[in-house]
A and B are shown apart, each in its own frame.
Chain A
Amino acid sequence: MRWVFAARASGLFAIAVGVMVLCGWAFSIEALKSMSLDISMKANTAIALIVAGTSLFLLGGGGTVARRAGIGGAVAVTAIGGATFCEHLFGWDAGIDQLLFREAPGAPATVSPGRMGPPASICFLLAGVALLLLHARRGTRLAQALAMVVSLWAMLAMVGYAYGARELFGVAAYTGIALATAVTLFVLGLGLLAVRGDEGFMAPLISNLPGGMIARRLLPIAIAMPLILGAMRLYGQRTGYYDLGFGTAVMVVAIVVIFTGVVWQSAGVLNQTAQQRDEAQSALLREREELADFVENAPVGLHWVGADGTILWVNREELELLGYAREEYLGRNIVDFHVDRDVISDILDRLKAGQTLRQYEARLRCKDGTIRYVQINSNVRWEDGRFVHTRCFTRDMTESRMAQDAVLEARRQLSMALTAARMGTWSWSVATGGLEWSDNLEEIHGIAPGTFGGTYEAFLACVHPDDRERVDSGVRRALEEKSSYDVEFRVPFPDGSMHWVGGHGQVFVDAQGNPVRMIGIGQDVTARRQFELDLETAYESAQEALKVRDTFLSVAGHEFRTPLGALSLTLHNLGRRLGPRLDDAATKDIASLQRQVDRLVHLTENLLEVGRINAGRLVFERAPVELGQLVADIVDRYRETAKAAGSELTFDARGPVRGTWDATRLDQVFSNLLANAVKFGKGLPVEVTLTRRDGTAVVQVRDRGIGIAEEDQSRIFERFARGASAASYRGLGLGLWISSQIVEGHGGVLAVESRPGEGSVFRVELPGAEGSLE
């Protein structure tokens, strides 16, 4: 713009000069026509200057009209210059010289009245062509060359005026030109050069590069210095200070000195500039290296990808992340490294559409085949709308993703476990009162999903009114004691059914020990509650059944006693009465009847005994007993039975063993043991011994019969148990159980030692024994 401004200024200058001269012609003011010199500017010259100046001014900008006017002006200037030059060349008179004003013949340096000299006409011709070219925006270099010729030609005349060399401006047919014309044409030429200052020949001069700078420094010196030195030399020579040779020598030396100085200074400036540039360049280089190093070693994966997906550049972190060598990665297509095709094509589409991706999730395939979860931040570097490459930041999210997955997995498992256990979790903020429930708690409390109010009061509202106080006090106690809460309560469902929920919670306190949070679980325990209830009912009815059974056994047993008593006595009487008259077979039958009655009596008594023991009504009538006599009587009683079975029955007791025991009950015990020994004794001898060990009486009944298998030995003391198989021996299996109950009732022990096939030893130990013998 600076140059255009200069061009316009020179245009205005030309117009001003032209107008001034025309005024001189119009009002016959000689001073205006010739600047008080003898050679005047012609009217046509003034007109041409005005038109050329206007055309130049219009080159600086404007619309179509201005451009056309500019072109018209250029054509007019060319025509005026060209026509006048032709008049000079061919000696014509085209009649254009005095169109406006007449001039008296004989004006200095004038070929024909009113005709401008050859230099001016040629300059106008050249300037007109230059203006045309500039307006047409063509041939800028040619226009500038023409403008330069105009300026130089004008300058030649100016120097002529300055040095008084009249040959250079005063010869009418060749060089005649007014000083004002020369100066204005010089300025006009400079304006033409300036109007496109940044193009053509002028471009290097106005450039900001060192060449332009140097040129702008040197040019004024190169132009002004010879003019000044020339003027000084002429002045000195004319005033007689020195002759031609001396003046020339001084001028040449001065030129050499000044030019050398200028060159020297320029060299310094150039060197300085070059040095600055070098420094700037190396600083830039270092900066680039630092930046490259920074990016290469950044702890985040980076790469550039071309528009076609080719990887153009990658940093170390990304290579290490994926495990590839640089040459295995560069040049390949980024698509090859993405697990999900649709993801990478979406990424590239978005980037091409000018989007910036932020934390875009993708999966990349490593060299070893594993898959990495990454977050991508990326956008495209554009240059003049051209896709240069993407800038992609790749952050490895695998570990956090896996941790996230693990958390999700654990949460799913917990949820499954909770669902399976019909359980839910809750968390209650004591401060805010907010109560959060997991989804399944609502179902457990009979509430539609998503309708729980989220407060402690909303929870209490679910609880059966009769249980609320209990639940509330349980929670308050847990808060007060900073302990746990554990309450089961009823929950009435909207459908009228009653459910049980078990609530368990734990209080958490802050640093000051104040309760801040309570978390826990709620579980549907309806099924368990129902089961317990059923169990209780079943237990009660079983107990009832047992009681009924025992009552029945007792009643039945007692009812059997009377007829058995009658039967037994009657049989006895019958035997006595008929005794002498009966034959052997009948006697045997009577004895058999008597045995079976005895057995019935025995079984009945055992059943009654079981009932008594079950009811806890086994009462001992303790009285002083001499055990030796008691056992001896029982042994005597069984001697016949043993003999019938083929067993010899022996009793060995050394002296009396006394104690306070229930003789009847002990009779029961020893009778039972003797009966068993005879029954399972295989007809081999049965030995009964009585000893006293400290305060304990020990009665042993030893047989050599079938014995008892080891696995049966503890079992035989249970109810309804039998050592031998049920098929071989009949009985209720109550005898040993009753015996052990009786012995234990005396604080003693009934034990067995046995080997199958070798016989058994039953041992009764009774505490509280006194006596004389060991």
Chain B
Amino acid sequence: MNASVFCCEQAEVRLTSASGEKTILQGIDLNIGRGEFLCMVGGSGTGKTTLLRALGGFCAPTGGAVFYEGAAFSGPPAGVVTVFQDYGNALLPWRTVRGNVALGIEEQVSGAALDDRIDAALAMVGLQQAAREYPAKLSGGMQQRLQIARALALQPKVLLMDEPFGALDAMTKAKLQDQLRHIQASTGATIVFITHDVDEAVYLGDRVILLAGSPGRIASELRPALPATRDQISTKEMPEYLHARHELLERLHGAAR
């Protein structure tokens, strides 16, 4: 019985850009377990986004293999939903909050069942009050919550998130981090989460992987020894947290040198 959701074997991704073909990722060996919260950190240009896009079915590996539930795939696999960093481009401005959440499920369910699914997704991110608003009327944090709710409405097995909180202020970010941990605990979803923020990676992740180099590879990984339920204040004062943070920062700076 294979417990891993995603499995990369010596995966390599080459992309063609204006300056010719470039190898972005090389020799990626990675297993992502069911229900795991995996954070990816690394400097710019180390291929974090490309790796996430390969998992999300937006770019196929040019070498090696990437499997989802044991099978190779082209295009986003069923049960895997990507949440993008630029929520402004990802939301539909002509649909209300409810309409946006309905987008992915309105073909499959209808009537009261549809309403229930939308309500449940909105409740998970705390957006019930804004259900009838248009996205343009919402703050950045609320718009990103809306995008997460739209993904959650599909009841995904895996959420792939590319720096979802990158553009948000510290307070909003902390609140959304807690909500996301909570959502993962209640839905059992696997989450792969890219961030630039070392604190965020250690606080959120069951495991943190560090990408480095060009072409990017997995330089090291780390499992913060933290309890499943985390708290913005007490968790961040725990010696284990500080140790993991110290370790990760050191490796990050070591990798950059």
Q: Do A and B bind each other?
A: no
Interfacial residues, chain A to chain B (CB-CB below 8 A) = none
Interfacial residues, chain B to chain A (CB-CB below 8 A) = none
